[in-house]
Amino acid sequence: MKLIEDVSSYRNPIIDADVPDPDAIRVGDRFYLVASSFHRAPGLPIFASDDLVTWERIGHALDGSVPEAWFAQPRHGGGVWAPSIRHHDGFFHVVYPDPDQGVFVVTAVDPAGPWSEPHLLLPGLGIIDPCPLWDDDGRTFLVHGWARSRAGRKNIVTVIAVDAELRNPIGSAIDVIDGDLLDGFSTLEGPKFYKRDGEYWIFAPAGGVATGWQTVFRAPTPFGPYEHRITLAQGQTPVNGPHQGAWVDDGHGGHWFLHFQDRDVYGRVLHLQPMAWGADGWPVMGEAVSGGDAQPVLRHPTPFGTAQGPRTLARSDDFVDGRPSDHWQWEARVDPETVVGEGSGLGLRGSPDGGNVRTLPRVLSQNLPGQPCVAHVEVALQTSGADERAGIAVLGRDYAWAGIRRADAGIEAVVAVRTRDDQAERVIATFPLDDARIRVGVTVDADARVRFTLGATPVDPQFTAVEGHWVGASLSLFAAAPYGAPEAIGRFADFTIDAQES
């Protein structure tokens, strides 16, 4: 991966990969960030940084969404929506919503874990995007939004008093901002709660994930009345959104705003904006800090003068001790016996196969980089049942995969595609193999066009990757066998990926 050599400035996005709905804080000299994980497990990825520019994943705050039985199958579009992270009284708190259940809390002394089991703080359908605020007078509040798909209401921000341990609500919920009463506002969501100079601040985006803007609200009390300003919009830049994030002070007098941009197949990528507090008490962001328009910067001096590292999360993996690294997530909450620890490489027990990779729970995924990439992995079938298969997929709402299957005629290499309009997978290419093992290559270009190599044989499936449900596309490893058949075991080794960062 090519590093950014100019230490005087950084380029946006600072993470050009799927980091949905980010929230961040500073604790001491380090910065910590959490993001949505939706249906994938482990959930709630936790990132750390020393300079706000280069981030490394240090773990996950959630083994998998609860209840376990429900999330044993992929629940696309469900699970963990926009979380918040805060540090209070010696504990890190991540507060996250499941739109089908309510608001949960997990806590830890160390952000790398271990984290507590999730506690249901606020039950209810469609309660989303929560964020706590511990006031300096001893009170604690929670702000949240609403999802019309579950609650029948949206474009509203609500505040409720809760206990300091985030165990129970202790007051009535009060709607403090109604976006329908604000000119041009729609889909007001993702609120983050702060207090500064005796005033209460809610940072919240509106207008939709790909088409909206960032707004800041302020009031003399937690319950209003709130006035507002739009502080960041796309303007003349290519940064659509810009949407939903976190205000962070750097501990040296500087202020910054982290937010995402929706890049479709590549997911919601992370940007860093300079921020300052104006003489009138309102924050300004992006180019407005230097007197320009309130639009995102594409390049800016680094906060601490450090060099910017890789801007993707793509990582190779040699599956040490037969286990995947923390750079992977499952498409569902899987049982501990899914990974087979015998032999070299990573062994995966196959899911019962309904002919659709998108519905398989035992699928191991890594986010697609935001730049062109090339990946390779050795794929093998360790078992010998009829109609077993194993491979690597570029997985979204549509997918293409390449690997091995056992057919009536014997073992064969295969490339297949399935779109939302297909009733079954379409086989693009096959050829016989003498052994149930092959090295598979995947190339994804700047336009998300996908090509495979099966050994030395190139195959162009005429397929363009698309996003998943609220997530970007992924590179995914899987094995499967027909319903009622013994479990297939796919084995994967020497996964390498190179993102061609420009």
Which residue numbers are catalytic? 21, 189
In the chain, helix, strand, coil percent, each to 5? 5, 50, 45
Q: How far apart are CA 394 and CA 465, in angstroms?
A: 7
Measured in whole angstroms, the distance separating CA 418 from the mean position of its chain's CA atoms is 24
Of 215, 191, 229, 232, nearest to 81 by C-alpha is 191
Q: Decide if 345 contacts 493 (C-beta within 8 A).
A: yes
Cα distances from 69 to residues 73, 413, 481, in angstroms, run 8, 34, 21
Phi-psi region of 281 (alpha: psi -120 to 50; beta: other; left: phi over 0): left
Q: Decide if 179 contacts 153 (C-beta within 8 A).
A: no
For 362-398, give the secondary structure using H, E and C: CEEEEECCCCCEEEEEEEEECCCCCCCEEEEEEECCC
Q: How far apart are CA 115 and CA 46, in angstroms?
A: 11
- Tokens 């995007």 label which residue? 129
Residues comprising the chain, all counted: 502
List phi, psi (to 5°) of 357: -60, -30
Q: Decide if 337 contacts 349 (C-beta within 8 A).
A: yes
Q: Per the structure block, which two tokens stand in for 108?
A: 């830890």
Residue 281: strand, helix, or coil:
coil
Of 311, 266, 269, 275, nearest to 294 by C-alpha is 275
For residue 31, the one-letter residue type is F
Residue 320: strand, helix, or coil:
helix
Of 257, 310, 290, 251, nearest to 2 by C-alpha is 310
Helices marked H in 131-191 = 148-151
- Tokens 């599956």 label which residue? 319
Q: How far apart are CA 172 and CA 168, in angstroms?
A: 12
Helices marked H in 180-297 = none
